[in-house]
Amino acid sequence: MSVVRLIASATLLLAAAASQAQNFKTVGSAPVILYDLPSIEGAKLFVAPRGMPLEVILTYGAWVKVGDVDGDLAWTQARGLSNKRQVVVRRSGLKVRATPEEDASIGFIAEKGTFLEVFDAIASGWIKVRFQDGQSGYLKSADIWGN
């Protein structure tokens, strides 16, 4: 009987962890309007630009409650979001490295608020990203939001 309890406990822990996992989406090919309610009748709070990463907090029919890099919450229509992974740079003058190492040469500098496409996450805490002009490199995951 204790084996069954152990398996049940492990299953519940895994389910709880999965429910707490962050779910990031990206604003698709057109900007989306963020509302205070899950309805076009709600107050318009902000227009999120194409490529902006958003964290999906809750899904309600065709609407999703999302959070942004500043922690602000709003609602938008789910159809305007994409599964393409983008992140936003958290601080100015961030050095994007040629390889995933602290002392690697600098590929380019990214400014705070810049959206970067995610290519790959590396176990050591580095993420391979690409700028809209095609330049690519590596950043520490702690320096970006949306991953």
Q: Tell me the per-residue pLDDT of 64-101, one tens digit each, with 9 for 90 and over.
A: 999 999 999 999 999 999 999 999 999 999 999 999 99
Pair 68, 94 in one domain = no
pTM, two decimals, is 0.80
Say yes or no: 94 and 138 in one domain: yes
Based on the domain organization, do 103 and 76 belong to the same domain?
A: no
Q: Is residue 94 part of a domain?
A: yes
Among 99, 102, 82, 83, smallest CA distance to 142 is for 102
Residue 17 domain-assigned (yes or no) = no
The residue segments making up the domain with residue 125 are 86-145
- Which of 54, 67, 62, 66 is CA-nearest to residue 78? 62
Q: Which residues contact 34 (CB under 8 A, 6 or more apart)?
A: 44, 45, 46, 47, 48, 66, 74, 75, 76
